[in-house]
């Protein structure tokens, strides 16, 4: 694959009115989600659940691509059609999470470093053969007493850029995701400062590692007050701070920015995205790559009856995808939630 193909894929991932569905939970995280609905976390149930999501009628109208976990990229529907083929038939680009998770950063209490660079070249080559066209790597930055440290930010951004360069070598578009966690009592301003420092470090490293920015996507956390902050900023405040921070740190050449939901409520995440897109035109499309904020309602519905409720659970996902598709162009209205 040449760089024009990378650029075309990256642009398709943020095509107008579309965003990305994140269903790349590790088996451990999936266990937690399934525990919450009282469903056993077996390979078959994970396959049935993700298959239900991926075969939602009309999903491709608002979802450009889906990020899968290794297991899911290799699974098939009951009739033996691979999930990758199902996605290709409906215009949803297959993506794959390739990091090996965030682990304690030695010498730095309370901070994490994402692992997975060893052997990554070989793994990416196999994923490309299996049909993946983009990848995701998530780094985690925690705000707290005396943290994040420069060591944590620099270490994680270095790994993100090394991963991104390897992806492009293999013909996959890298989604680089430095998530500043919402957990904590920190203010909007503190989140702004940490996000700004992180994104500066990230793009310094991206230049150092010769990453083609036009063939890459940033998955960003919003600039938002901590979940335990006493005086949380409103929707307009989050939208303004996030856009200002991104304009000051993210090169215009980046193909697009998609947000994670990070523990926000479904409608809250949609309202934030919509408010940002109403603020004007930016150098990059601003869209979504939500996990929980796209799946929550669908997961709860499916969990009540994993056979009979498949159509209702698909309706719930289709609705959220439509709402976020509208928000990605600044045309969402809360009154549409009942439509």
For binding to ligand 13P (CB under 6 A), which residues are involved? 22, 138, 177, 260-262, 290-293
d(CA 50, CA 48): 6
Q: Residue 139 CB, nearest distance to ligand 13P (Å)?
A: 10
Contact between residue 29 and residue 41 where contact means Cβ atoms under 8 Å apart: no
Catalytic residue, candidates 219, 268, 297, 304 = 219
Cis omega before residue 148 (within 30°)?
Answer: yes
Catalytic residue, candidates 177, 185, 196, 236 = 177
Give the three-class secondary structure for 281.
Answer: coil
Residue 230: which residues within 8 A CB-CB, separation 6 or more?
A: 185
d(CA 147, CA 144): 5
Q: Is 219 a catalytic residue?
A: yes
Q: Is 136 a catalytic residue?
A: no
Give the three-class secondary structure for 261.
Answer: coil
Q: Residue 20 CB, nearest distance to ligand 13P (Å)?
A: 9
Nearer to ligand 13P, 123 or 292 (CB): 292
Nearer to ligand 13P, 176 or 212 (CB): 176
Nearer to ligand 13P, 271 or 293 (CB): 293
Nearer to ligand 13P, 261 or 287 (CB): 261
d(CA 153, CA 19): 27
Q: Residue 252 CB, nearest distance to ligand 13P (Å)?
A: 25
Q: Residue 32 CB, nearest distance to ligand 13P (Å)?
A: 12
Contact between residue 127 and residue 165 where contact means Cβ atoms under 8 Å apart: no
Q: Which residues are catalytic?
A: 177, 219
């Amino acid at each position: 694959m040449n760089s024009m193909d990378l650029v075309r894929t990256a642009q398709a991932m943020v095509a107008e009115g579309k965003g990305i569905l994140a269903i790349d939970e590790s088996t451990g995280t999936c266990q937690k989600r399934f525990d919450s609905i009282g469903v056993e976390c077996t390979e078959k149930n994970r396959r049935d659940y993700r298959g239900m999501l991926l075969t939602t009628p009309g999903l491709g109208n608002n979802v450009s691509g889906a990020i899968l976990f290794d297991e899911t990229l290799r699974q098939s529907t009951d009739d033996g059609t691979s999930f990758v083929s199902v996605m290709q038939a409906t215009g949803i680009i297959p993506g794959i999470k390739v990091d090996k998770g965030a682990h304690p950063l030695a010498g730095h209490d309370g901070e994490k470093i994402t692992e997975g660079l060893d052997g990554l070249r070989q793994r990416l080559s196999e994923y490309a053969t299996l049909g993946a066209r983009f990848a995701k790597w998530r780094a985690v930055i925690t705000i707290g007493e005396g943290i994040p440290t420069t060591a944590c930010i620099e270490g994680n951004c270095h790994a993100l850029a090394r991963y991104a360069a390897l992806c492009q070598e293999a013909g996959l578009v890298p989604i680089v995701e430095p998530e500043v966690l919402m957990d904590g009592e920190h203010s909007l301003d503190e989140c702004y400062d940490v996000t700004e420092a992180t994104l500066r470090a990230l793009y310094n490293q991206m230049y150092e590692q010769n990453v083609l920015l036009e063939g890459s996507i940033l998955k960003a956390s919003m600039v938002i007050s901590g979940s335990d902050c006493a005086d949380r900023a409103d929707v307009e405040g989050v939208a303004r701070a996030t856009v200002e921070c991104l304009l000051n740190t993210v090169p215009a050449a980046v193909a697009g920015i998609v947000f994670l939901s990070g523990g926000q409520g479904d409608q809250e995440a949609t309202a934030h995205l919509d408010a940002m897109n109403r603020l004007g035109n930016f150098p990059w499309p601003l869209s979504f790559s939500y996990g929980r904020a796209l799946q929550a309602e669908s997961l709860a519905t499916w969990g009540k009856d994993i056979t009979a409720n498949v159509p209702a659970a698909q309706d719930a996902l289709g609705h959220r995808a439509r709402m976020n598709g509208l928000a990605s162009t600044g045309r969402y209205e809360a009154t549409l939630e009942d439509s």
